[in-house]
Amino acid sequence: GVVSWATGLGYGWIGALNTPGTVRNWLSGTTLLGEAVGLLTTLVGIGDDQTTTEAIKVFRGAGGLLAIVLCLVLLARMERYGFVGSLGLGFVAVVALGPVVHPWYLLWGFVLIAAGIPTLRVRSAVIIASAALSMVLMPKGGTVDVSAIVQAILSAAAVAGSAVLFELLPGRGA
């Protein structure tokens, strides 16, 4: 606020903070649940577009509260995953339960998880999830046709499988 005032650039950025909430992104579980409830209520004749919008708001709010609870639990039990691991898990929880999820948001958390919890099981999970996200989704988070998704999943499985096998080689792994 002080920088906006001092530079004379204005406060338009404050209103823009609501922009992510206007996007309906299928990767966001909370948005997807809200849309599903809205669709079901519309199909049975008790809802409309406004019902869908309200359902999305409710699920997004619940997701935000759940993310806060998860972050507090991770903070209270930080000795289990360490500071960096807990930070990564909290980051992924906030993103996954947030209103809009872009694949690269999750990848940022995966980096922290892999750095903070360097066990073979966690590294393998991070590798598989990263490969799946990078192969199934377009760089801007858009979708692709079904045949391309099948090809991407098969490619991701090959890459992830190779990475896991590499980690299992003698002398590797933690």
Choose the weakest-confidence range: 60-69, 112-121, 138-147: 138-147
Q: What is the pLDDT of residue 164?
A: 86
Q: What is the pLDDT of residue 78?
A: 92
Question: pLDDT per residue over 82-117, tens digit each?
Answer: 999 999 999 999 999 998 887 778 888 998 998 898
Supply the Cα-derived Rg of the chain in whole angstroms.
Answer: 20
CA distance to 73, 110, 131, per residue, from 104 (Å): 25, 10, 12
Q: What is the pLDDT of residue 138?
A: 62
Q: What is the pLDDT of residue 2?
A: 86
How many Cα atoms are found within 13 Å in the side-chain-facing hemisphere of 85? 14
CA nearest neighbour of 34 among 63, 57, 66, 65: 57
Q: Report the percentage of the chain scoring pLDDT > 90.
A: 29
What's the chain's average pLDDT?
Answer: 84
Q: What is the pLDDT of residue 133?
A: 76
Q: What is the pLDDT of residue 23?
A: 76
Q: Which two tokens stand for residue 103?
A: 């694949």
Count other C-beta atoms under 10 Å from residue 126's C-beta. 22
163 in Cβ contact with 131 (< 8 Å):
yes
> Residue 143 pLDDT > 60, yes or no?
no
Q: What is the mean pLDDT of residues 35-49?
A: 88
